[in-house]
Structure 1
């Protein structure tokens, strides 16, 4: 645990020094704030807690994507800097702890401002409406949807960054993310994860636990992967998003190591 925390701190500081991280995320964060304040999808909700759930949908669509875009080249860079990689490998810290720190540190740097603004907005809304459920909905959205979505975006971005040049990886991540989050069956010519238990937007979790409008669960689709939002389906949605993130994370490291050994 100590090794992972030191690695996390080091990687977080290194990511904070890179202007590309906040430079990529900041425009999407500002766009999210603008839409949250002006879109009737959010402001038109009669229940303040539902506003939080709807805002979380925007955060997962834009800010989670921004997190993945900011960290697309992180895995490639970590494995391409040969001297640093070999130096870290020579330390007594377990490889798993170093790897977890390398992944979570930059993610913490990129996602931190998003989390703080989301919680601040929820606190202001709770105070303005005197609604105790707002903070509960915000916490549920953060834990069960926003953080898992960011984990998946960062892991998928790392995998694509290991497979493709950085610019192509960012384009591919954007297309895949929008397709998986915002292309409902009626608008997609091919089968889409949008509205299913596999969608990284976490619609079932947001509807069941964060008071989001029910449309964000199934997106008017039908089938086994688009059940009604319940506690059970929300938990399954959460587990599948985290499992997909873990799979992308493992494949990304495998591809990056294979590329490095092939180059040497």
Structure 2
């Protein structure tokens, strides 16, 4: 069996041949049996690792990449650190020129919603970052008030009780404006709402055991898991739509 990346001197690790995603998975599953290819792709999408690409588009991982992945997975499993905290620690080591291969994640205090005291929170599931009035939402999204009213009637856009809209409402409204340019009307979006509700029901069952716990680390893990589920759901949806359109496009 190959020597783990974390135990190699940096100069030796950098001289090792690059690995495919399957080979990396085999390395990591010794210590992280639940890791999947989808998980590795998600961590790449989150900017935590940047494997090289061949001319054909295949991922090729260095031993430094494997060391980063081990660090991330250890931080999540052993210390329940949110990805944003892990990303900050990796950025510090990148800036110093060090490798995380021989480093241990730094334990930090995490609030009940997964936030780090004194740190500006990033956008995450369940944590809206903006509050917009009705006119502001219309102006910033490009839809008109009648369209907004129709979206609310269909349950596609929902405001807080006082009539404020969050960043997700803005994202939805902008997407609706973009789709309208291709002839899609709000009434066509009912299927999107129905499909999203079904996904929410499935994901809520997965998240409930963690979300019900009072332990801040468990709740932070629930928030991070929700982000991963949303990202994977988006990937799955996009791929299914692409596959479904192939016959229409004659491919």
TM-score (norm 2): 0.30
TM-score (norm 1): 0.28
Bigger relative CO (Cα 8 Å, ≥ 6 apart)? 1
